[in-house]
Amino acid sequence: MIVDFQMNNLTTVEMIEQGSWRVISRSEDDLFSAEVVLDVKSPALDIRQAKVEVKRDVLGLVQDLSTATDKLIGVRVGPGMTKIVRAVLGGENGSNRLAELVLDSMEMLINAITVPELRKANEMAGVPFKSESDGPKVYLNDRVIGEEMVRLMAGNPRMKDSCAAFGDL
């Protein structure tokens, strides 16, 4: 059957200079298109610049949010960000979709920062792996973080019980 609605999202994270990150998120569907650009600075991971642009709004429901967007400056990527961003950009006079796109962008920065740590964990304590859910001809997971390292990582209160991998330990 032919698809009659599509949603596509792309988020990229780039270090533009030492300690400065640029996160760009673009969301597109049949009714709506928007782009978020955030410049974030380490070590506090506070937003230094924010741009939210609606490219297409077929239903014409999203109001001008430039004043609200300015209030994102200084917001830190970390605990409490969800409540702040939803309060600044979401709600009846705002746009919940844009608030979620900003939060997605912030979340992806956290993921970007986590990648080197996970890579290190895989290099140090990775184990050869073959899963029944992988293959049967092409295996994407030849080496994964093994039980010992998983238990060690679960010792971090932020990781413990955060998902199936770090639960029941």
**Residues that bind other proteins in the complex, under the rule CB under 8 A:** 1-15, 21, 29-32, 58-62, 94-97, 108-109, 111-112, 114-115, 118, 122, 127, 129, 131, 133-134, 140-141, 144-147, 150, 161-167
Instruction: Identify which of residues 14 and 70 has a Cβ nearer to other proteins in the complex.
Output: 14
Provide, rounded to whole angstroms, the least separation between the CB of residue 1 and other proteins.
5
Instruction: Identify which of residues 59 and 79 has a Cβ nearer to other proteins in the complex.
Output: 59
Provide, rounded to whole angstroms, the least separation between the CB of residue 70 and other proteins.
20
Which residues make beta-bridge pairs with 39? 22, 49
Provide, rounded to whole angstroms, the least separation between the CB of residue 165 and other proteins.
4
**H or E segment and range at residue 65:** none
Check: CB of residue 23 under 8 Å from CB of residue 108: yes
Determine the 3-state secondary structure of 97 from DSSP.
helix
Residues with Cβ within 8 Å of 137's Cβ and at least 6 positions away in sequence, in order, are none
**H or E segment and range at residue 50:** strand 46-57
Determine the 3-state secondary structure of 127 from DSSP.
strand
Instruction: Identify which of residues 15 and 44 has a Cβ nearer to other proteins in the complex.
Output: 15
Instruction: Identify which of residues 49 and 166 has a Cβ nearer to other proteins in the complex.
Output: 166
Provide, rounded to whole angstroms, the least separation between the CB of residue 112 and other proteins.
3
Nearest C-alpha neighbor of 31 from the set 62, 50, 66, 57: 57
